[in-house]
Amino acid sequence: MKVTPLTPHIGAEIRDIDLSFPVDNETFAGIHQAFLDWGVLVFREQTLTRDEHKAFARRFGKLHIHPMNYRGTGEPEVLVVKTTKDSAYTAGNGWHTDVTCDEYPPMGSMLYMKQVPGYGGGDTMYADMYLAYEMLSETMKELLSGLIGVHDGALPYVGAYKSTPPEGGYPKNEHPVVVTHPDTGRKVLYVNSGFTSHIKGLNPGESKALLGFLFDHIATVPRLTCRVSWEPGTLTFWDNRCTQHHAIWDYYPHERYGERVSIVADERPVT
């Protein structure tokens, strides 16, 4: 297994491994450590069935069922990510962390790309939320300490995607604005423009101003990011606890198709 970093602090390509075969304990330990070290792992030249995709993900924990898969499919753990010329939107076209509206958001997600646009485009950018926190001033860190963000599934799923919510609505939960990664012990900035609607305890103007600054900080500092260019057969596995990502829709009218499997976290995000 060969690990090649994409940047000095986030992202790495993993070569010389075939994920269609069961991963032995030694190889799994190496992948897990690389996952913690780099936050985003890119596996090239994979040929996976859905069962093999899910089997690899299950080595890391229980599989997640996306809130928009509530109607029921034959394989509810598989989220289809498909964009065509007729699509009203493309999933993830904005900086976000996956499904932070859940009480137990995914600890990680694995997107397996099967079709890429014929004329280029369709990359995904990833941002390092350790570094996003570390780059803040000590005064700002002190201000954010103890604040609670409200994460609302209706914000993207109804507001942006115009989907019909299930009975009782989409999930809505509160998480600290700054959390501690359970495996590395490092502090993480944990708000995102996809799901964080407001900060609890602030008036609307204060909340909008503070979140606006944090969202701009994430979206406009190139140093935070790495960029993954997809090929058919690429699987990318990202740590949802310390990264954000943005799927770039720059390939209209061409198509892009992938399938995502996510793993539920063992615990809620905590300070």
Catalytic residues: 96, 98, 245, 260
**Number of alpha carbons in the 13 Å side-chain half-sphere of residue 69:** 17
Q: How far apart are CA 4 and CA 18, in angstroms?
A: 16
d(CA 189, CA 177): 6
DSSP state of 2: E
φ and ψ at residue 172, rounded to 5 degrees: -145, 125
**Cα 179 vs. chain centroid, distance in angstroms?**
16
Say if CB 184 and CB 32 are below 8 A apart. Answer: no
6 C-beta neighbours (distance < 10 Å), count:
18
Tell whether the torsion through CA atoms of 9, 13, 17 and 19 is positive or negative.
positive
